[in-house]
Amino acid sequence: MSLVDYRGLCHCGAFKFKFRGPEIVQVFSCTCSYCARIGYLWARPGPVADTFEVTKGSEETTLVEYQFGLAHKFCPVCGTSVLARQIEGKQAVGINTRCIVGIDFETLPVVATDKGAHLEPAYTTPASLEISPSNQGTTVYHGSCHCGAVKYTIASSEVISEAKECNCSICSRDGVLFTFPEESHITWSGLAALTEYTYGTKKTFHGFCKHCGVPICERFLWEPFTTRRAINVRTINNPGFDFRALRITKNDGRNNPPAWIEPE
């Protein structure tokens, strides 16, 4: 089997890596509670043993580790979820293909697997953030990051039936699917645990949980979205709500100026 040299990085460039492995011709999405929130796209098989090399930063000091089934590692500056290792031994490494340079994962077949969703111990969804009774005709959505440090409730007359997927450098790494409720319709808890990252024009702030790394929202300083907040529908916890069933529209943010330049 011929091997291919790959390299990747988080969005801010604090952590970079390279590895050699089989050509990536398909990716895998896990339906477990954590991977589904993160939007991981896994490559299997991953790096050939002993070929994974960190070229900038350190797994131990540059990345934050969150354990759920695996030891998941993300950048605390930009929020990019980079990789995961087995908790015991930590030899095998899984790479989030969203971070790999030159991979057009939008064109790769995605194979869904629910194996992780059935592993023990079962995940307990964080308790909902309750609000005062809503007006008749209002739909209420409860959501959170994976660890429950950040929670929100949306009370709106608009039923969430679609979401937007952007291919810009940060949204494609985060795997986010956004809906855009009015900020006045959202009640928050735990915003102290929300880290915001911005770049480029510095008018969009990408929010993720500093403990578990789950991308939750975006805040805007540009019209017509100054009164709205982008909410990642992957984080909605309502029983029966399935973000996979929503109508997804594409946004070509990749070609909006200024272009993202890979950090040195």
Residue 236 DSSP label: B
pLDDT higher than threshold 70 for residue 184 = yes
pLDDT (tens digit per residue) in 43-92: 876 776 679 999 999 999 999 999 999 999 999 999 999 999 988 876 78
pLDDT higher than threshold 90 for residue 238 = yes
146, 212 contact by CB (below 8 A):
yes
Closest CA to 81 of 254, 250, 237, 209: 209
Q: What is the pLDDT of residue 200?
A: 93
Are 104 and 22 members of one domain? yes
**Any domain includes 126:** no
pLDDT grade, residue 191 (50/70/90)?
A: very high
Strands (E), the chain: 3-9, 16-22, 27-30, 53-56, 64-68, 70-74, 81-85, 93-95, 110-113, 139-144, 151-156, 162-166, 178-179, 186-189, 194-197, 204-209, 215-220, 229-232, 247-251
Choose the final residue of a domain: 118, 148, 176: 118
Distance in angstroms (rounded) separating the CA atoms of residues 254 and 87: 35
Distance in angstroms (rounded) separating the CA atoms of residues 80 and 176: 11
**Any domain includes 264:** no
Are 65 and 155 members of one domain? no
Are 187 and 226 members of one domain? yes
Are 239 and 144 members of one domain? yes
pLDDT (tens digit per residue) in 115-158: 877 778 889 999 999 988 766 678 999 999 999 999 999 998 88
Choose the final residue of a domain: 118, 150, 183: 118
Are 157 and 113 members of one domain? no
200, 182 contact by CB (below 8 A):
no
Pairing between strand 204-209 and 215-220? antiparallel
Identify the domain containing residue 168 by its residue range: 139-255
Choose the final residue of a domain: 60, 85, 118: 118
Write the CA distances from 44 to 12, 51, 94, 195, integer angstroms.
Answer: 26, 15, 8, 31
Are 87 and 173 members of one domain? no
β-bridge partners, 68: 70
Are 20 and 90 members of one domain? yes
> Is residue 174 helix, strand or coil?
helix
AA identity, residue 222: W
Are 144 and 92 members of one domain? no
Are 89 and 193 members of one domain? no
Are 213 and 243 members of one domain? yes
**Any domain includes 134:** no
Are 59 and 149 members of one domain? no
Q: What CATH number did the domain enclosing 238 receive?
A: 2.170.150.70
**Any domain includes 261:** no
Q: Across all residues in the chain, what is the average pLDDT?
A: 94
Q: What is the pLDDT of residue 118?
A: 79
Number of domains present in the structure of the chain: 2
